[in-house]
Amino acid sequence: MTEYPPRRRVVITGLGAVTPLGVGVDKTWHAVCAGQSGIGPITRFDASGYPCRIAAEVKDFDPAEYIEKKEIKKMDTFIQYAVAASQEAVDDAGLTIAPDTAERVGVYIGAGIGGLPAIEQYHKVLQDKGPGRVSPFFIPMVIVNLASGQVAIRFGAKGPNSCAVTACATGNHCIGDAYRIIQRGEADVMLAGGTESTICPLALAGFAAAKALSRRNDDPQRASRPFDRDRDGFVIGEGAGVLVLEELEHAQRRGAKLYGELAGYAMTSDAFHITAPPDDGAGAVDCIEKAIGDAGIPKTAIGYVNAHATSTFADTVETQAIKTVFRDHAARLPVSSTKSMLGHLLGAAGGVEAVVTTLALYHGVLPPTINLENADPDCDLDYIPGQARRVAIDAVLSNAFGFGGVNACLVIKSTRGSREV
C-alpha cells in the first residue's frame, strides 16, 4: 500500500475584509455584533426602473489608500477589494514574504462573476467609439484569476496561484482548496478568500429577472430577513474577505497570533438543478457531514453555524439539512445568517463569512440574525435573533452553497487565542 505523509495542520493567522459594513475587519466585526445593516438604496446608477432598487454597497472605499494610482486603472473593483483585504490580512498576520520564502507562499482568491461592471463599460465604449478605444487593460481587469494574480504580484508570492469560480460557494472553495495545498506540503502560507463587485445594471436586471431579489425597496435595512416568514429574496452585496492560512509549526516558529485552526473542509454537488437545492438538502447534508468528519471531531463539538441562509426559500432547506446532520444537537445549536446585515456578497460571501465566523470563535461572540420578526414555521432552530450572544465554543461550521448545486463547508477549531495548540 502507498503510504502518505501525515496531514499538516493549518491555522488562521491573519484576517482582512472590505464589506458594506465598513472597510476593514474591526469596522465590520463591530457592526455585525451590533446588528447593523449595510443595505440601502443603490447609488452606483439610476435604478429607478428596476423592480429591486436596493443593495449592500461598500462605502468610503478609496483604492488609492492601497494601490498606486497608475495601477488602479488596471483593476476592476473586485480586484481592488481583493488587494485591500489581502493587505489587511498580511499586516494582521505580521507576515513578511522574503525572496527566499516566496515560493512557499501562494494565493487562492476567487469571484463568482468577476469584472461585469467593466464588461458593461467597455462594451458601450466599443459600440460608441469603436475598437480602438477599448483599454489594453480590459481583459486583465475582468478575468477572475487576476484577483489572485494582482495579490501575488503585490506581495511577490511565487507559490501556488489559482482561484475557484463557483458562484456563492467561491470563497469557501478557495479557502478549502488553499487549506489542502498547505496540508499536502505544497506551500507553507496561503492568502485565501473571495471577492466580488457586481452591483451594476446587468447583474441587477439578471437576478431580478430570475425573481431572486428582495423588492422591499421602501425599507432596505429590513429587506434581508433570513428564516423569516416574510422574506422575499436576497439583497445583492459586494466586498472581499481574505484569510492568511499557515502551517502550524511555521506560524509557531515566528510567534504568530492564532485565530483558530482550519480543521475540516468538504465539497459536494447536488446534481439536481441550476439554481435550486433539492427539498431534502441531501447535498448540503453530505457536505456538512464530510467537513465535520474531515475535522475528526464529534458533531456535538460544533457550537455555532454561520448559515448560508440568503433570505430565500432555500433557508428552509438548509434548516432541514442542519436538523438531519445534527439530530438532537440541532435544537441546542446556535445558527445565524450574517447576510441579514451584509446582504449576499456572492463570490465574496464565503470569504467574509469565514472572517466573521473565525472572529466569533476567537472572541466567543456569536453574531445575530437581524430582521427575524415572524419565524417561518419550517425554520425552527435557534437563529440568535436580534442580538449577539456571548458563548465560549470549541468549533464552528461555515456553510456556502451556490448556483449549479455546489456546496462547500468549513470547520474551524479553537486555539483559545494561544500560541500553543
Question: Which of the residues are catalytic?
Answer: 168, 308, 344
Angle, helices 77-93/146-155, rounded to nearest 10 degrees:
40
Query: 52 in helix, strand or coil?
Result: coil
Provide the total of helices (H) and of strands (E) in the chain, helices listed first.
13, 15
Where b means 16+ CB within 10 Å and e means fewer, 372-397 reads beeebeebebbbbbeebbeeebebbb
Do 215 and 38 form a contact (C-beta atoms < 8 A)? no
The answer to whether residues 335 and 383 touch, using CB atoms and an 8 Å cutoff, is: yes
CA atoms within 13 A on the CB side of 204: 27
| Residues 302 and 395 sit within 8 Å (Cβ to Cβ) | yes
Q: Are 380 and 226 in contact (CB under 8 A)?
A: no
All three cell numbers of 221, joined, read 435595512
Instruction: Work out whether strand 260-269 and strand 395-402 pair parallel, antiparallel, or are unpaired.
Output: unpaired
Q: How far apart are CA 6 and CA 329, in angstroms?
A: 31
On the 0-12 / 13-18 / 19+ scale of CB atoms within 10 A, 111 is: buried
Q: Which three cell numbers stand for residue 236?
A: 445583492
Separation between Cα atoms, residue 327 and residue 105, nearest integer Å: 40
Residue the block writes with cell 502551517 = 247
Query: Computed over its alpha carbons, how large is the radius of gyration of the chain?
Result: 20
SS3 (DSSP) at 413: strand
CA separation for the pair 239, 17 (Å, rounded) = 7
CB count, 10 Å around CB of 416? 13
| 237, 20 contact by CB (below 8 A) | yes
